[in-house]
Chains A and B, each alone.
Chain A
Amino acid sequence: MAKVFRADPEFCDGCRICEMACSLIKTKQVNPYLGRIRVLRDRDTGSRPLFCRHCTRPLCQEACPVPQAMTRDSVTGAVAIQQQHCIGCLACAEACPFDAIWVGPDREMLKCDLCDGDPVCVRYCPSKPIPDPDTSTNAYLSCLQYVEPRRVNRG
C-alpha cells in the first residue's frame, strides 16, 4: 500500500532543512531555489511547507501535454516528471493547486518524486516535543510525515 506524504503546518518552524536537504540530495548543492519542496515564510509569524501531495487525480498530469512526461510510480505512488520527455511548458506548475512545482534556473521543472519511497525531507524534518505536564513526557510529531493512510486519521 502506498504511503501518504502530508504535513502538519502547525509544526513547521521554518528551519528550511527540508528544502536544503532536498536540493542537496538532488543536486549535490545546498540551494533552496533547487528544492522540490519549499517553505513559505511570513516574516513576522509562522511558516508552512509547500509540497506535492501526489494526488490520486493529479491535475498536473492531466494538464501535461506529453503523455510520457508525467508518470506515476507503481510502487511508491509518486507522480514524477520524466525529464527526458518534459518539454518545459510549465502547464503542470500552473495546474497544481498547491503551488508545488517550480522552474529551476536552467528551466528544468522541479517536482518531488518521493526519493524512491524514502523522502529525505521527511527523514530530516525535526520532530517537535509537545510537553505533557501530567506525565512529564513528550509526544513527538514532525511537520512532514510519510505514513500509512490510516495514520493520517489519527484524529
Chain B
Amino acid sequence: MAGYGNILYVDLTQGKVKQRPIDSSLRRRYLGGEGINSYLLWEHFQQADPQREPREADNVLIAGLGCLGATPYGAGSKMKWTFKSPVTHMFGDSVSGGHFSSNLRWAGYDHMVITGRAKSPVYLLIQDDKVEIKDAQHLWGLNVMEADDRIRAELGEEVETALVGRAGENQVAHSSISVSRHRSAGRAGGGCVMGSKNLKGIAVVGTRGVAIHNPAAFFQSMDKLNDAFAANARTRDGWKSFGTLIITGHYQRTFVNAFRNQQEPRLPDEKYQKLSHRWWKANLSKGFLSCSPGCATGCSDWYKLKGNESPYAQQHAGEVGRRPEYLGIASFGITTDVPDMPAVAKLTGLCNEYSMDLVETGAICGLLLELAQRGIITDADTEEWWDQPIPLQWGDYATIERMIHSLGNSKDPLGVMFKDGLLRGAQLLEERKGAPVLQYANYGKGGAAFTEELRHRPGWMVNMAVGARGADHLKGMLTMDVKSRGEIALKHFGRADVMDEYLNSEQKGAFTALGESHTAITNSLGICTMLAGSDPIRYPLELFSDAVYAASGLRITPEEMDQAGERIVNLEKAFNSLLGFRREHDSVCYRWQKEGVSEGTGKGWKAEDYMDKALDEYYRFHGWDEQTSLPTRQKLVELGLEDVAQVLDKNSALA
C-alpha cells in the first residue's frame, strides 16, 4: 500500500532484526504514529509483565511517524516515542521533531520496536534495507553533539541520529532522547529506557522514499491546508514570527508565567522585557527554521552571540545555538529566575547535550533554589554535593549549570538523590532534612509538572491531573480553550458560553477529554500539534482525512478519525488501569491543590475548588466510571476493544 512503511523489530538481547507490514485494519483503527505505537505497546505487554521496573530489559522502546510526516504536506513531521515511563511508572510517550523520523520513513519504516538489552553499548544503524547493531564503546561517555559528530564523521553527513547523552547512559529517570542534535523527545524518560538497553542511539539514512497514492490529489490537499493557513493569517504570523516564545507574552498578560518555582504568577516587568519574544527578535534572531521536514510554518530560530546582548553573552561571544522553546524559558528563565536569554539558551542546550527533560530538570533546580530561599538548604548541603560551600541564589546561572552537570552525570550526592526524578528526590531530601520539602515541589503523577501557573486555568489543570503520561497538557492540547472559541463548545456541549473565559470551571473537564482525543489524532498522523493540529474548527479533520486518502489510499471519514482518537486514548487509559492507576492518582501537587494564586486575574484560584467536579465531567465525557476512573465495558466494546475489556476484567481493572 502506498504511503505506509513497515514495522521494524529489533531484539537487542538476541541481536535479531525482522520486519512486518502494517495491515490495513490496524491503520484504520489506530491511524499511525502515536496510535499504532500505543497498540504495539499494549501488544508487547500482553507477553511481557507490565508491572516490571521500567529500567528492566522487558521494557520496550517504540518509535513511529504517521503517514503525513516525511512529506511536503505542510504541517511538519513529528515522531512519537512510546514506552513504559521510568518517571511516572505508567504509560510514557514523547514527541520529537528533527529530520531523523523522516529518514526512518524514507528508509521504509513507519514504526520501530526495540526490545531486550544489549550485552555492551551498541547503536543501531539503519540504511534502507540494511539494519545493523553496531558497537558503540567509542561513543559511550560522550554527550549528544560529540557523539553525533563522531557518527557523521564515520558514516557521512546525511546520517540523522537519535541519541542519548550521559544522562541516558546513567539511566537518569527523566532522560530524554535528543533527535537530530537539537530536537528532543523530552518527557517521560525515553532516554532512560534507551540507556537501560545499552543503546546509545539510532543512526539512519533513508533513500527509498515514500510512494504517494495519488500525487495530484495530494497536491490539492496541500493547497487546502495552505488556504486554511491563509485564512488564519493573524494567528499563524504570530506563530511563524516567534514560535512558542510568543507564549511568554500571552502568559505574562494572563498571569501564567510561574516565577521562582511557581511562587508568583508573573515575571517582574524588567525581567519580562529581557525574556520576551520581542527581545529575542530584536537581539538574537538569525532567521526562520523548520524543526522538521515538511513544515510550512518554520517557527524555530537560531542565534550566534555577538557579545553585547547580555551579561552571559559578554563571556561567550561567538556561541551558536538554537532558540529555546517556551518550556526552556519557563524552566530556566522564569522558574529559576535567569533574566538572560543567552544564558537560558545555553542551559536549555546543556539539557539537550546530556539528554535530560527540561521540565523535570528545571523543576528540580527551581525547588532547590526555593529551599535555599527558605533556609532549608544551606551551604553545608552544597559542600556535601560539590566539595565546596556554594550559596544557591535565584538567577545565578553558573550554579544552575553546575546543578545540570550533577543531575546529568548522576555521580555526586545531588545527582544520585535526584536520579529518579523530582518527586523521589524531594522525598529523600525531606527525610534527610526533617523539614518540609514536598510541599514546595511542583509535580503530578510521580513526575515534574509543567512549569506554568495553571491553577486559574481549570481546563489545563484537569489535563495535568489526568495526563496519561504525566503532569502536562500536551496530551490534550487545549489551545481550543480560549476566548471566542465558543463554536467548539457549541458543537460539542450545545452551549457557546462555557469556553468564553479561562476563568470558568464549567465543562472544562469534558473539554479536556475532547482535547485528548483530538491530540491523539494529530499525533497519529505525524504532524505537529501546534497550529493546524490543535484547532478542529479552523483546521477541520476533513483536511486531514482527504490528505490521508491522497497519500495512502486509506479512505477514512472524519467521524472514523474521531473514533480512532478516542480508541487511542482508551487504550492508553487501559494500560494505566492495568498497572493499577485509579481516580486517586488523577491529582495534582499540594501547592496547586491547596494554595491560591497570589495575584492577578486568577487570584485565589486553587485546584481543590473545582477539581472533583471537573474530573466527574471528564470521566463522564470519556464514558468511564466516575468512582474509580476505570474504563467501562460498554465504552470499550463501542470502540471495538472487546479484547482489551477482557484483559482488564481478568485483572480487576474494568468498571
Contact = CB atoms under 8 A, between A and B. Distances in A.
A pairs with B: yes
Interface of A: 10-11, 13-17, 20-21, 23-25, 27-34, 41, 43-47, 105, 120, 124, 126, 128-129, 131, 138
Contacts of A131: 237, 241
A29 B302 contact: no
Nearest to A27: B209
The 5 lowest CB-CB distance pairs between A and B, nearest first, are A31-B209, A13-B298, A15-B290, A20-B72, A13-B288
A125 B500 CA distance: 37
Contact of B320 (A23, A29, A31, A44): A44
Contacts of A24: 71-72, 212, 215, 218-219
Contacts of B207: 31, 33, 105
Interface of B: 70-72, 74, 99, 106, 148, 180-182, 207-212, 215, 218-219, 222, 226, 233, 237, 240-241, 286-290, 293-298, 300, 302, 304, 320-322
Nearest to A47: B289
Contacts of A47: 289
A128 B288 contact: yes
7 contacts: A15-B298, A16-B72, A17-B74, A32-B106, A44-B321, A128-B298, A138-B233
Contact of B209 (A16, A21, A34): A34
Given A28-B215, A33-B207, A138-B237, A13 B287 contact: yes
Given A20-B71, A20-B294, A129-B241, A46 B215 contact: no
Contacts of A14: 289-290, 298
A20 B293 CA distance: 9
B181 to A, nearest CB: 5
Contact of B106 (A17, A25, A31, A129): A31
A16 B294 contact: yes
A45 B302 contact: yes
A44 B322 CA distance: 7
B181 A15 contact: no
B215 A15 contact: no
Contacts of B290: 13-16
A123 to B, nearest CB: 9
A17 B294 contact: yes
A138 B72 CA distance: 24
Given A31-B208, A32-B106, A45-B320, A15 B296 contact: yes
B370 to A, nearest CB: 34
A138 B447 CA distance: 42
A46 B287 contact: yes
Given A32-B106, A44-B181, A11 B288 contact: yes
Nearest to A17: B72
Contacts of B226: 124
A17 B289 contact: no
B212 A28 contact: yes
A21 B219 CA distance: 8
B465 to A, nearest CB: 37
Contacts of A10: 287
A27 B304 CA distance: 39
Most buried by A among B72, B207, B289, B320: B72
A13 B287 CA distance: 7
Given A13-B289, A17-B294, A31-B208, 20 more contacts: A11-B287, A11-B288, A14-B290, A14-B298, A15-B290, A15-B294, A16-B294, A17-B293, A17-B296, A20-B71, A27-B209, A30-B72, A43-B180, A44-B320, A44-B321, A46-B302, A120-B219, A124-B226, A129-B237, A138-B237
